[in-house]
């Protein structure tokens, strides 16, 4: 029966509440952190703040969790006595050895995890990262679940029973994803890999850790997939998609992707394994030809994600289910290879300032945010692009020389025009930056269609400006 509290009972109750909050290690910070949103803390940058500063930035974003891609001891120490729950990762290359040896598994846990308990709240151990995706071959597939099994045994033997063991899987694990109700895992992994993996996760009450980015399907087909559908815009849900197999109506692309995975798991015989989004987000910048990668869209996506998951409504196929997510990523990481978007997923610049405002609790209304810059590339770029030396690249003499040597060494006459006798040869008159620009552009023009990138370790960038002059022509790549 409910009744009111007398004065002395109120005092006792307040003391109990204060003691409980302090025991949970949080005070005000713990009370305002997100219960469902965390941050992926990548470290592929040569200009990133210290772990202690980084942890403070994660707390300022009101994240409840943090995921790192190893078991970095400096980061784990910086997380000590904070409210943040941590996910750590066993590197891909260690998975086969751990799967074959319980003593190695025990030693890895004893060395990398045990020293940080109980002050650092490690709650998840991920065994490898996207091992089922290219360019990872199939040689490691049979080792994933045995390694998970050994590590779980090691955790239990060391008294670390709160840690859930899993592995991250990308959307390319699906053979079919549309419509969601027809989704199925790839034939090469459905029975030999996904069956044992889901059996382990179901038995241990762990999670299916999924990397799910709405940006990639949208950017590959921006004419047929609506941008607002990919950005989780709630007010446009009435123009969503209806699955003909179930009649479920989808208001955004993320729900559609999550339910596709849920139905694929059901086809393997495990309909109840919980999904935790291990990576999601939207790029805040990129190359000229990378549509929709801008600050406005990144802010809109992550703000909508926080509101959506904090509401706890689940998905059409799993209504009311609690879905947690790690947002990728804490920083723009300048050493990530590949297209320009790879270096522009951060909520923070490396100097510790915000790329845009976001409240990961999902509580801040849109009206309280400062205006965002306009999006300038939501339509696919049509025209020519050149790949040239980045500003300041000429100061990195050794690196530029090595990059030019690589570009010119790929055959097909890549640099013939800037060699003696070539149409662009000007003995003693070409600057190092100009020569590098020609080499980078010629390489990219020839090899872009087979995976060549305009990056060269951060020495090259894309431009719409033609640097050709006189009889020296820089070939432009049409997109």
Residues 6+ apart with CB under 8 A from 239: 226, 229
Kindly tell me the sign of the dihedral angle through the C-alpha atoms of 148, 151, 156, 161.
negative
C-alpha distances out from residue 251 to 229, 232, 256, 330, 424, Å: 7, 8, 8, 28, 55
Catalytic residue among 266, 279, 379, 391: 279
**Length, in residues, of the chain:** 479
Assign 21 to helix, strand or coil.
Answer: helix
Query: 293 near 299, Cβ under 8 Å?
Result: no
- Which regions of 293-366 does DSSP assign to beta strands (E)? 324-328
Q: Is 233 a catalytic residue?
A: no
Place of tokens 């991920």: 126
Structure tokens at 47: 């200009």
In contact, 223 and 160? CB cutoff 8 Å:
no
249 Cβ contact partners less than 8 Å away, ≥ 6 residues apart: 240, 241, 242, 243, 316
Q: Is 366 a catalytic residue?
A: no
- Of 9, 93, 130, 363, which one is the catalytic site residue? 130
d(CA 202, CA 195): 11
- How far apart (Å, rounded) are the C-alpha atoms in residues 425 and 470? 12
E strand or H helix at 384: strand 384-389
DSSP E strands, 20-91: 37-41, 65-68, 85-90
> For residue 432, what are its two tokens?
């190092």
Ramachandran region, residue 327 (left: φ > 0; alpha: ψ -120 to 50; beta: rest): beta
Contacts (Cβ under 8 Å, ≥6 apart) of 365: none
Catalytic positions are: 130, 279
């Amino acid at each position: 029966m409910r009744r009111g509290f007398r004065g002395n009972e109120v005092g006792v109750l307040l003391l109990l509440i204060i003691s409980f909050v302090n025991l949970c290690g949080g005070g005000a910070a713990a009370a305002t952190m997100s219960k469902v949103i965390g941050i992926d803390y990548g470290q592929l940058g040569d200009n990133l703040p210290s772990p202690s500063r980084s942890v403070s930035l994660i707390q300022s974003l009101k994240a409840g969790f943090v995921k790192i891609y190893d078991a970095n001891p400096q980061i784990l120490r910086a997380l000590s006595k904070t409210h943040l729950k941590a996910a750590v990762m066993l590197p891909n290359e260690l998975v086969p050895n751990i799967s074959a040896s319980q003593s190695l598994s025990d030693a890895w846990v004893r060395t990398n995890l045990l020293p940080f308990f109980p002050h650092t709240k490690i709650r998840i151990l991920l065994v490898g990262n996207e091992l089922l995706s290219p360019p990872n071959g199939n040689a490691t597939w049979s080792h994933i679940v045995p390694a998970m099994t050994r590590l779980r045994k090691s955790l239990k033997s060391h008294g670390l029973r709160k840690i859930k063991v899993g592995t991250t899987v990308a959307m390319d694990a699906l053979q079919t994803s549309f419509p969601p109700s027809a989704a199925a895992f790839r034939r090469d992994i459905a029975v030999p890999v996904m069956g044992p993996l889901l059996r382990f996760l179901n038995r241990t009450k762990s999670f299916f850790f999924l990397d799910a980015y709405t940006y990639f399907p949208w950017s590959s087909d921006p004419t047929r997939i609506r941008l607002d559908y990919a950005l989780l815009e709630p007010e446009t849900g009435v123009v969503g998609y209806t699955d003909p197999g179930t009649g479920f109506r989808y208001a955004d692309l993320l729900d559609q992707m999550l339910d596709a995975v849920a139905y694929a798991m059901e086809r393997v015989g495990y309909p109840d394994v919980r999904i935790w989004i291990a990576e999601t987000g939207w790029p805040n910048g990129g190359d000229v030809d990378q549509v929709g990668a801008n600050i406005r869209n990144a802010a809109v996506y992550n703000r909508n994600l926080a509101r959506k998951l904090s509401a706890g409504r689940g998905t059409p196929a799993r209504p009311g289910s609690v879905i947690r997510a790690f947002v990728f990523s804490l920083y723009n990481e300048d050493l990530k290879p590949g297209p320009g978007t790879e270096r522009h997923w951060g909520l923070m610049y490396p100097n510790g300032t915000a790329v845009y405002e976001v409240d990961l609790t999902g509580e801040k209304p849109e009206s309280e945010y400062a205006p965002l810059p306009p999006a300038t590339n939501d339509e696919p770029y049509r025209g020519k692009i050149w790949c040239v030396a980045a500003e300041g690249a000429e100061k990195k003499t050794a690196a530029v020389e090595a990059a030019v040597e690589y570009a010119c060494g790929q055959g097909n006459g890549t640099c013939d025009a800037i060699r003696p006798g070539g149409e662009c040869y000007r003995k003693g008159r070409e600057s190092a930056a100009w020569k590098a620009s020609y080499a980078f552009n010629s390489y990219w023009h020839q090899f872009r269609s087979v995976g060549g990138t305009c990056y060269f370790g951060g020495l090259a960038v894309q431009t719409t400006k033609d640097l050709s002059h006189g009889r020296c022509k820089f070939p432009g790549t049409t997109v």
